[in-house]
Structure 1
Amino acid sequence: MLPLTSSEAGGYCAAVVRHSAVTEALQKLFDLAWQQATPLGQPVGEGELSEGERTLTRLLAAGMKDEAVARHLGVSLRTLRRRVSELQDRLGAASRFQLGARAAQRGWL
């Protein structure tokens, strides 16, 4: 059952959708929203990141290449890539672009 906008008569109306392409699309939409959601009571914002992670996220968002970021942080290229991979895993991001988008949604940038 999907709630719709209120009717002209002041009441509310809804549509009952049985198994169809619409229900599959709605399920996928819900699953995507659920995956990107933040659990209740979990702080949203920079408090979730360490200082090093904040710096790393900002440098990546600035568009710096991996080699430059690694030099700036004083770590090896392999360590940098591992840290980026760990951040991607934390946010469920499949790519670095998606990592940036999700970091921005959480207020990390």
Structure 2
Amino acid sequence: MAGISDPLADPRLPRLLASAVRYRRASAAAVLEADLRAGARGDTDGWRLVWSATEQMYFMRNRADDGLDSSSIVDGSALQGLAASGRSLEAAFPATSMSFDRTRQQPTPSS
């Protein structure tokens, strides 16, 4: 996925994820950042988000990041609710009150 600079704050990501899950009737899905400029084929150092209907979501800002688990399970109906209301995934990761610095791919404190 290219064009999402701050994945946890972008309300398009829950809509994309909910649409893909609904279309595929999936119980789990992953969204990876694509670096189209590098011409990489599936090998990216960008962010990753993994969603499951029965487990906490997992988010990594880059490969060097330890990653974050969501504070609770976001099941299919909760994901659809986020998408329908136009909210981002930030609420699922309350400990991440940080903005996403694309130049360094590291979290920076929000002001």
Do Structure 1 and Structure 2 share a fold, with TM-score over 0.5? no
Give 1 or 2: higher strand fraction: 2
The structure with higher relative contact order (CA 8 Å, sep 6+) is 2
Q: Between Structure 1 and Structure 2, which shows a larger proportion of helix residues?
A: 1
